[in-house]
Amino acid sequence: MKDVMLVTGAGQISMAIARRMGYGKKIIMGDKNLDHATSIAKIMNEAGYDVVPFEMDLSSRESIQAMIKEGQKYGEIAMLVNGAGVSPSQAPISAILNVDLYGTAILLEEVGKVIKAGGTGVTISSQSGHRMEQLGAAIDEQLAITPPDELLKLDVLQEENIKDTLHAYQLAKRCNEKRVMSEAVKWGARGARINSISPGIVVTPLAIDEFNGPRGDFYKNMFAKCPAGRPATADEIANVAELLMSDKGAFITGSDFLIDGGATASYFYGPLKPND
């Protein structure tokens, strides 16, 4: 039997983190598109890892439970990497809320029921959650602790209160941060830790969709005018995940790490600040 790493979202960030932390473990590589999961599994297996591709839908509790059950065939669940999600240019409001918001809440809850003592997890959020206006303590608490199956009934998440897909994405990512804080308390009772990472623009196929989408010029301008002056690589996100998931991060849980090359700083206090 081996310790098991569950990975959702067979993309570049997920693979970079799995390569950094998944050696010696059984890795279940889940994605809604089984071809994507199979492709990433092939690359990793040919590099000496032990990866099983698995078809899973983040918006379905039953699908998440099936993935956990698959992992438990090989050993205890020791690590979670959640890199699944859809972007504002890829999906309508309803899909963004169902996958990025509801699905992440379900995943953190279900894995939190079985994570082994000493286990760790990271979920990939986004800089977008840091740039929307504050929602207030009451709404933050609702996003943090409302039972997942009741989340999409909250007033703040009704479509008539959501301006567009970017706003839906921002709400989902703000919810991710709050859920991580809430779930960290429950994971802690099992001796486990959970954190989130909020990347800026990372060069991945999803980012390329954004560059070619309706907000492409906005995103290109963002990394051109951020202090770093460039987008990130997936491995730079994995650098932080490695800290969070290793013993060096043993005192870090319930936290969110903004890794955006200073884009959010520039948005509030620099050349990316919106014109009023």
Residue 110 DSSP one-character state: H
Q: Any idea which residue has 């071809």 for tokens?
A: 35
| Half-sphere exposure of residue 268: CA atoms within 13 angstroms, side-chain side | 9
Nearest CA to 236 out of 15, 38, 16, 8 is that of: 16
The predicted pLDDT at position 261 comes to 95
Residue 212 and residue 38: Cα distance in Å, rounded? 26
Residue 41 and residue 49: Cα distance in Å, rounded? 9
The predicted pLDDT at position 276 comes to 54
Residue 88 and residue 120: Cα distance in Å, rounded? 29
How many other CB atoms are there within 10 angstroms of residue 234's CB atom? 20
Residues designated as active site: 169, 173
The predicted pLDDT at position 251 comes to 98
Low-confidence ranges of the chain (pLDDT < 50): none
